[in-house]
Amino acid sequence: MSAASLYPVSPEAAAQSLTDEATYKAMYQQSVVNPDGFWREQAERIDWIKPFTRVKQTSFDDHHVDIKWFADGTLNVSANCLDRHLDTRGDEIAIIWEGDDPADHREITYRELHHEVSKFANALRGQDVHRGDVVTIYMPMVPEVAVAMLACARIGAIHSVVFGGFSPEALAGRIIDGNSKVVITADEGLRGGKKVPLKGNVDEALTNPQTRCVQKIIVVRRTGGDIRWHPHRDIWYEDLMRVAGDVCAPKEMGAEEPLFILYTSGSTGKPKGVLHTSGGYLLYAALTHERVFDYRPGEVYWCTADVGWITGHSYIIYGPLANGATTLIYEGVPNYPGVTRIARIIDKHQVNILYTAPTAIRSMMAEGPAAMEGADGSSLRLLGTVGEPINPEAWHWYYETVGKSRCPVVDTWWQTETGGILISPLPGATALKPGSATRPFFGVVPGLVDNLGNLLEGATEGNLVILDSWPGQMRSIYRDHDRFVDTYFKTFRGMYFTGDGARRDEDGYYWITGRVDDVLNVSGHRMGTAEIESAMVAHRKVAEAAVVGVPHPLKGQGIYVYVTLVAGEEPSDQLRQELQQWVRKEIGPIAVPDVIQWAPGLPKTRSGKIMRRILRKIATDEHDALGDISTLADPGVVPQLIETHNQMR
């Protein structure tokens, strides 16, 4: 590692930060040597109703995976995000909302948010929603989405937020899996000046007979656009709020009672309902938010994620609000009405901390200096990234052009499953290396293993595993604990397998190299190859499909699909478009293939397994590196696929 690519901690950052190098080392050491003592002390940042006596009760043994933290303590998550701030900072801003239209914005104080949440919690109760019921939230990025999530938490209902870009089919699947009683949505969303028919999508999802579990749809009026209305089923949010009482005692919840489920893609099967519980999750989200972003009271913090993803849950809503921070919620897209929108929002709201994804950075970078033109940017103090490996070029552009070479960049590695950040620099403690997520957070014990599960020492590369539990870890897959154990604890026994590969350098820094399983990362969105393949083969003209990820300059990875048509169907550009539309309808715009290649057959082993490795090499022009293909059932398809690929270029 050359010295030129090392960015030492500045003396000012170290002096002002909560965590300097010595503090990091001492705390990390304590956290792994004596996790009980460490987390007992950290848990003081939570307002417990009944204090816990037990701290960590966790087992990664694949015969009996069981993860419990603070199990006999009780708390209410919404009270931790709202009520306890009222005396100290009730009139400070909890949420700054910036609308899609630059003329629209709102500021909401902690007191106002508490008021809204209490009312909506009462309204939900009035609709017969109780502790343990699942509420699906399919909403745009408006303040009411925070109100809805916190109101669920207040009464002990489990929220299941579904990204507003998912199709009616994808929404229906999640509603059915969660056996959801109520859906909260908006008439329409607004993104980049375009309307998104959210209520229409819910109506369509509910035509699926298996969604009969849904009793009510609560609709926030966002655009006032025309929607269909079913008087016995649909209710306006505003009508409920008009009559709801504003006093709602927060429900006393066990630390291990569910807070939410959130669906994410894996290498096989349907999306999994990742289950997070209350006490450990909230503690971990709050502590990481404070330490990684070095959050200081009064600062304005902006995470550009959508609440439909885990980043939105932990670092727009729960972490910041538990810490009494001011969190910015942005409704729109980065380049509307123009390429300087992000810069303008930073200046308008004097944002101190910006947390975004490499794909957003690359699309700003593609504009050259234009994206920051005329921007002041002097309010910024810290920059963060998440979602995919950041290429050093994008890192440097972010650091120099957005941060004016004075703001540390925290490259945070984590997953839906981990609940919060596991590997990241701490700005006052960690010298930065562009492209490296650097070192583990408190309590996190990463390891690298070979394909047989042997732990590797020193500077090396391998499969990234985590060797012991941390409080923010997912507890199960909703109503499918066996799948949880199989997915995460069977590949390497006794270890949590992340699905990522990583390299560890001579300084002990981790460099995430990307997924080692059949999961794609497209613009920071996780997608299972199996999910896209099953959407493809659901089309009546498709016999078989195989999906691989290929490097893409803006999205990180693009989606490349090999399609075999059923006998008698002919390839055509029109059919290609039809299939792209089909995937958009089945899953959503984020899953639309970048490339569809017609394939007379697919390379398979004699036992019928598709050799994706070969397909990936063909798609990325590594035709000399195919390896041994003689063991394939039909080696003859390979030269044919190479030829078609070359013709397409």
Residues that bind ligand WTA (CB under 6 A): 264, 309-311, 386-389, 411-416, 437, 498-500, 512, 514-515, 521, 526
| Least distance CB 556 / ligand WTA (angstroms) | 9
The residue among 188 and 500 lying less far from ligand WTA, judged by its C-beta, is 500
Count CB atoms within 10 A of the CB of residue 72.
Answer: 14
Contact between residue 627 and residue 618 where contact means Cβ atoms under 8 Å apart: no
Which SS3 state, helix, strand or coil, does residue 420 take?
Answer: coil
One-letter amino acid of 153: A
| Least distance CB 516 / ligand WTA (angstroms) | 9
Place of tokens 């930060």: 17
Residue 411 in marked binding region: yes
The residue among 263 and 582 lying less far from ligand WTA, judged by its C-beta, is 263
One-letter amino acid of 522: V
The DSSP letter of residue 419 is S
The residue among 382 and 565 lying less far from ligand WTA, judged by its C-beta, is 382
Residue 280 in marked binding region: no
Residue 503 in marked binding region: no
Residue 454 in marked binding region: no
| Least distance CB 515 / ligand WTA (angstroms) | 5
| Least distance CB 421 / ligand WTA (angstroms) | 8
The residue among 237 and 395 lying less far from ligand WTA, judged by its C-beta, is 395
Contact between residue 164 and residue 139 where contact means Cβ atoms under 8 Å apart: yes
| Least distance CB 642 / ligand WTA (angstroms) | 29
Q: 476-506 as b/e, with b when 16 or more CB fall inside 10 Å?
A: bbbebeebbbebbbebbeebbbbbbbbbbbe
The residue among 292 and 575 lying less far from ligand WTA, judged by its C-beta, is 292
Residue 647 in marked binding region: no
| Least distance CB 507 / ligand WTA (angstroms) | 17
State the DSSP string of 506-540: TTS-EEEEEESSSEEEETTEEEEHHHHHHHHHTST
Residue 491 in marked binding region: no
Residue 311 in marked binding region: yes
Residue 542 in marked binding region: yes
Contact between residue 136 and residue 162 where contact means Cβ atoms under 8 Å apart: yes
State the DSSP string of 17-63: SS--HHHHHHHHHHHHH-HHHHHHHHGGGS--SB--S--EEEE--TT
The residue among 178 and 435 lying less far from ligand WTA, judged by its C-beta, is 435
| Least distance CB 91 / ligand WTA (angstroms) | 33
| Least distance CB 571 / ligand WTA (angstroms) | 33
Task: Report the alpha-carbon distance of residue 357 to residue 416 in Å, rounded.
Answer: 15
Contact between residue 440 and residue 448 where contact means Cβ atoms under 8 Å apart: no
The residue among 244 and 423 lying less far from ligand WTA, judged by its C-beta, is 423
Residue 188 in marked binding region: no
Task: Give the residue nearest to ligand WTA (CB).
Answer: 416
Residue 500 in marked binding region: yes
Residue 210 in marked binding region: no
The residue among 171 and 410 lying less far from ligand WTA, judged by its C-beta, is 410
The residue among 45, 43, 42, 40 whose CA lies nearest residue 323 is: 45
| Least distance CB 305 / ligand WTA (angstroms) | 8
Residue 526 in marked binding region: yes
Phi, psi of 341 (to 5 degrees): -55, -45
| Least distance CB 483 / ligand WTA (angstroms) | 16
Task: Report the alpha-carbon distance of residue 585 to residue 579 in Å, rounded.
Answer: 10
Task: Report the alpha-carbon distance of residue 505 to residue 460 in Å, rounded.
Answer: 7
Task: Report the alpha-carbon distance of residue 73 to residue 106 in Å, rounded.
Answer: 36
Residue 465 in marked binding region: no
CB within 8 A of 594, min separation 6: which ones?
550, 552, 555, 558, 559, 560
Residue 389 in marked binding region: yes
Count CB atoms within 10 A of the CB of residue 272.
Answer: 25
Task: Report the alpha-carbon distance of residue 534 to residue 518 in Å, rounded.
Answer: 14
The residue among 211 and 264 lying less far from ligand WTA, judged by its C-beta, is 264
The residue among 156 and 389 lying less far from ligand WTA, judged by its C-beta, is 389
| Least distance CB 177 / ligand WTA (angstroms) | 17
Contact between residue 241 and residue 119 where contact means Cβ atoms under 8 Å apart: yes
The residue among 188 and 306 lying less far from ligand WTA, judged by its C-beta, is 306
91: which 2 tokens? 């009139």
Binding residues: 191-194, 311, 335, 387-389, 411-416, 500, 515, 523, 526, 537, 539, 542, 584
Binding residues for ATP: 387-389, 411-416, 500, 515, 526
Binding residues for Mg(2+): 537, 539, 542
